[in-house]
Amino acid sequence: MNEAAPTLPDLDAMRAAGAARVDAVGWHYIETLAKRSQAQSGPARFLLHAKLQEAVQRFNARMTTAAHPQGHPEPLPSPLATLLNDMGSKSVPQGSGRSAGWPSENPRIQAFKKQLGQISVQKQVTQAMAQAPQNAGPINSHMLVLRSLGLMRDISPDYLNRFMAHVDTLRCLEEAGKVKLTPKKTAPAAKPRS
């Protein structure tokens, strides 16, 4: 069973048409697949050639789409953009006193979550005030922060809750920034021969 060698698609014409500008990664894949196809023989060559033909067909379709964008509808937004848009459209009107939640949540559950959050913040502030340093001076930064939190608690508890949410977010971001990837182990340098 001696089959003729498969003919490769005309990659030079595609290169001249600007294939690398349409999709540089896809074009590199096609070129690499063509080189590997030529280097193989037997069934491996036919398998690689079939993959190459399929990749070229998909790439030609993308090139045609890129050449005629006005005939096609707007691209679909990413799932993340859809989620953010959906969350933004479900926002609660100003002055309603309720926190924004998922539309399927029961208003009682939302109220319970809000109250639980307020209790948690009140508890955190009370614990922080109890751990105030003894004999701290009037401009001690720790005492100034504790006094500010106490005044916020007394004057505007809602503002204190929002402030603490922002502080918790910043703390989490700071901790996430401290996490470092472990460096790759490198082989020790070879000793020069004497």
Tens of pLDDT, residues 3-34 = 555 666 778 888 887 777 877 888 888 888 88
Domain check: are 112 and 173 in the same one? yes
Determine the structural domain holding residue 42 and report its residue range.
11-69
Any domain includes 161: yes
Any domain includes 90: no
Handedness of CA 135, 139, 140, 141 (dihedral sign): positive
Mean pLDDT for the stretch of residues 159-180: 86
Q: Who wins on pLDDT, 155 or 17? A: 155
Any domain includes 74: no
Q: In the prediction, which pLDDT does 12 show?
A: 81
Any domain includes 122: yes
Tens of pLDDT, residues 37-69 = 888 888 888 888 889 889 888 888 887 777 665
Any domain includes 110: yes
Distance of alpha carbon 2 from alpha carbon 46, whole angstroms: 12
Tens of pLDDT, residues 99-120 = 555 567 788 888 888 888 889 8
Any domain includes 76: no
Confidence label for 95 from pLDDT (cuts 50, 70 and 90): very low
* Domain count of the fold of the chain: 2
Any domain includes 173: yes
Handedness of CA 21, 27, 28, 32 (dihedral sign): negative
| Residue 92, pLDDT above cutoff 70 | no
Tokens read off for 111: 């109220």
Per-chain mean pLDDT for the chain: 78
Tens of pLDDT, residues 62-88 = 877 776 655 556 677 888 888 888 877
Domain check: are 167 and 114 in the same one? yes
Domain check: are 111 and 174 in the same one? yes
| Residue 141, pLDDT above cutoff 80 | yes
Any domain includes 38: yes
Q: In the prediction, which pLDDT does 48 show?
A: 87
| Residue 153, pLDDT above cutoff 80 | yes
Mean pLDDT for the stretch of residues 170-193: 70
DSSP calls for the chain: --PPPPPPP-HHHHHHTTHHHH-HHHHHHHHHHHHHHHH--THHHHHHHHHHHHHHHHHHHHHHHHH-GGGSPPPPPPHHHHHHHHHHHTPPPTTS------TTS-HHHHHHHHHHHHHHHHHHHHHHHHTPPTT--TT-HHHHHHHHHHHHHHH-HHHHHHHHHHHHHHHHHHHHHH--PPPPP-PPPPPPP-
Distance of alpha carbon 69 from alpha carbon 124, whole angstroms: 57
Domain check: are 48 and 112 in the same one? no
Q: In the prediction, which pLDDT does 1 show?
A: 46
Domain check: are 65 and 110 in the same one? no
Q: In the prediction, which pLDDT does 118 show?
A: 86
Domain check: are 120 and 64 in the same one? no
